[in-house]
């Protein structure tokens, strides 16, 4: 991987950018006897030899890999400058260089639509990775010396103890970038080589939670909209970690937030602030637990209660009681599909009669990567036509840009309710649900392939890694 090198970006400044792009090359490091350059092909080296005044040693990578390394190169060059200055930090320049480095890093992460920034120590270097559309991508590798300087700045910004390197810490800070307000949730974990720092990027003043904009297909969207008109019972959003459950829940809340209902949420931690909603943060430090809050919520005369995640049978029990007594309860649960969720609830010691009478709707979802409109290409295999991911500068050379929801929505009607009560097997429930129009997650994904929005590979990846 090109990202295994600590790239000296000073070298690329000496050559015209268009030359690098046209020939797919990136100079990496200069030694006394030669200069290392990654390239897609062995080139005639005379031009570069004259630029660097040494023989050139080529290391061959694919054009795609080199394109990726060349992306946003001017920002990377600036970051490299600031990195060098930060290492020479003395009393004169105080912390301004490292602060500028950090700001620029955040700026780059936002340009690349990242959801998280990971800053980690390794044995002999440190790496910075961005999570983009669910995937981690290594953006930088630097000398280990930078880490402590950077870690101190982040701790300072997030009101953490700077001297503390041996216990986990968490905090948050806010930054204004190009007129947008961003919240950062920070977690620092001590590791065997130093620390692992993760910054979750939360944009806090945009309505990113419109339920119509999540990419949910029309039939499913209509079923969901109908289900949230209920005034009691429980709606569950399920899926593995990182499947967008919380965003869906927030978008439902946003839709329900009309001002005529009292809405209370219990979260760990609160990710977005919403107007007109009472949001309660779980606070482990003072022993304020999930079930403590839930027990007290009912005295607050709520109409709608949102629970971040059901983690144990006690919280499930309280949530079900609330759903049974005239409240609409929204919650998430970590399960693979909608029908197996029923058994999961029973495994959590919920009596079948209570599951049958309280659960109204189960949404099971994943986030599927969308093909980049700029570079996708139609391919024909047999009689089938679909699109293939290629990769261009618009999409970080990935071929995909952005993600949307694929889901299955199971409405619990009287028949399914009676199946739950009698604990019928899942196959019978599935067969019945299909007879009344239920479409599985996989079928929903297929319809996105038909529309040219994603690829078969992406769908197989999602449904096979459960």
Residue 317 or 403 with smaller CB distance to Zn ion: 403
Q: Are 73 and 81 in contact (CB under 8 A)?
A: no
Q: Looking at beta carbons, which residue is closest to Zn ion? A: 372
Give the single-character DSSP code of 429.
H
Please state the closest distance from residue 388 (CB atom) to Zn ion, in A: 12
Which one of 47-55, 65-73, 81-89, 365-373 is the stretch in contact with Zn ion (CB under 5 A)?
365-373
d(CA 288, CA 330): 21
* Candidate list 372, 405, 410, 462; residue touching Zn ion; CB under 5 A: 372
Number of amino acids touching Zn ion (CB under 5 A): 6
- The pair of structure tokens assigned to 272 is 């977005």
Please state the closest distance from residue 355 (CB atom) to Zn ion, in A: 45
Is position 374 an interface residue for Zn ion (rule: CB under 5 A)?
A: yes
| φ/ψ of residue 43, rounded to 5 | -105, 165
Is position 392 an interface residue for Zn ion (rule: CB under 5 A)?
A: yes
Strands 359-371 and 233-238, bridge-based pairing: parallel
d(CA 155, CA 337): 40
Residue 63 or 417 with smaller CB distance to Zn ion: 63
Please state the closest distance from residue 397 (CB atom) to Zn ion, in A: 8
Residue 374 or 447 with smaller CB distance to Zn ion: 374
Q: Are 77 and 13 in contact (CB under 8 A)?
A: yes
Would you call 37 helix, strand, or coil by DSSP?
strand
* Candidate list 375, 389, 407, 453; residue touching Zn ion; CB under 5 A: 375
The runs of H, that is alpha helices, within 9-164 are: 9-13, 17-23, 46-52, 63-70, 73-87, 96-111, 145-157
Residue 422 or 451 with smaller CB distance to Zn ion: 451
Is position 395 an interface residue for Zn ion (rule: CB under 5 A)?
A: yes
Q: Are 207 and 298 in contact (CB under 8 A)?
A: no
Please state the closest distance from residue 215 (CB atom) to Zn ion, in A: 18
Footprint (CB under 5 A) of Zn ion, residues 71-110:
none
Residue 336 or 393 with smaller CB distance to Zn ion: 393
Residue 274 or 392 with smaller CB distance to Zn ion: 392
Is position 388 an interface residue for Zn ion (rule: CB under 5 A)?
A: no
- The pair of structure tokens assigned to 314 is 């006690």
* Candidate list 136, 156, 189, 394; residue touching Zn ion; CB under 5 A: 394
**Sequence-distant (≥ 6) Cβ neighbours of residue 433 within 8 angstroms:** 339, 410, 416
- The pair of structure tokens assigned to 150 is 């950077």
Which one of 174-182, 186-194, 325-333, 394-402 is the stretch in contact with Zn ion (CB under 5 A)?
394-402
Which one of 197-205, 246-254, 345-353, 364-372 is the stretch in contact with Zn ion (CB under 5 A)?
364-372
Phi-psi region of 268 (alpha: psi -120 to 50; beta: other; left: phi over 0): beta
Residues at the contact surface with Zn ion, assessed by CB under 5 A:
372, 374-375, 392, 394-395
């Amino acid at each position: 991987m090109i990202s295994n090198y600590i790239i000296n970006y000073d070298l690329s400044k000496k050559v015209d950018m268009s030359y690098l792009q046209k020939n797919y090359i990136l100079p990496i490091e200069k030694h006394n006897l030669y200069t290392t350059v990654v390239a897609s092909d062995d080139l005639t080296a005379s031009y570069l030899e004259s630029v660097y005044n040494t023989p050139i040693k080529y290391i061959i990578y694919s054009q795609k890999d080199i394109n990726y390394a060349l992306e946003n190169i001017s920002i990377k060059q600036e970051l490299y400058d600031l990195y060098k200055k930060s290492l020479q930090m003395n009393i004169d320049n105080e912390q301004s260089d490292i602060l500028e480095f950090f700001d620029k890093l955040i700026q780059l992460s936002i340009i690349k639509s990242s959801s998280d920034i990971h800053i980690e120590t390794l044995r002999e270097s440190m790496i910075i990775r961005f999570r983009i559309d669910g995937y981690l991508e290594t953006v930088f590798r630097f000398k280990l010396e930078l880490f402590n300087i950077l870690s101190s700045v982040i701790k300072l910004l997030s009101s953490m103890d700077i001297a503390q390197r041996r216990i986990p810490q968490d905090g948050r800070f806010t930054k204004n970038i190009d007129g947008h307000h961003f919240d950062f949730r920070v977690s620092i974990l001590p590791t065997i080589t130093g620390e692992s720092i993760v910054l979750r990027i939360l944009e806090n003043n945009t309505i990113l939670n419109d339920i119509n904009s999540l990419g949910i297909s029309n039939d499913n969207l209509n079923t969901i909209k109908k289900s949230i008109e209920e005034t009691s019972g429980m709606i569950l959003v399920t899926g593995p970690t990182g499947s967008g459950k919380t965003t869906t829940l927030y978008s439902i809340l946003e839709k329900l937030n009309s001002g005529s209902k009292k809405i209370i949420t219990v979260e760990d931690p609160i990710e977005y602030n919403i107007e007109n909603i009472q949001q309660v943060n779980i606070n482990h430090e003072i022993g304020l637990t999930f079930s403590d809050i839930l027990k007290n919520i009912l005295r607050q005369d709520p109409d709608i209660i949102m629970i971040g995640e059901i983690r144990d049978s006690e919280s499930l029990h309280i949530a079900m009681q609330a759903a049974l007594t005239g409240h609409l309860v929204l919650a998430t649960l970590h399960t693979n599909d909608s029908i197996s969720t029923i058994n999961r609830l029973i495994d959590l010691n919920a009596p079948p009669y209570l599951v049958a009478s309280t659960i109204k709707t189960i949404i099971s979802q994943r986030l599927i990567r969308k093909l980049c409109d700029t570079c996708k290409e139609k391919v024909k295999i047999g009689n089938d036509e679909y699109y293939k991911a290629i990769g261009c500068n618009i999409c970080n050379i990935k071929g995909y840009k952005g993600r949307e929801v694929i889901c299955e929505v199971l409405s619990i009607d009287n028949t399914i309710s009676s199946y739950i009560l009698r604990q019928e097997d899942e196959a019978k429930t599935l067969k019945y649900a299909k007879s009344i129009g239920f479409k599985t997650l996989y079928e929903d994904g297929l319809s996105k392939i038909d529309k040219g929005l994603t690829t078969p590979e992406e769908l197989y990846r999602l449904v096979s890694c459960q």
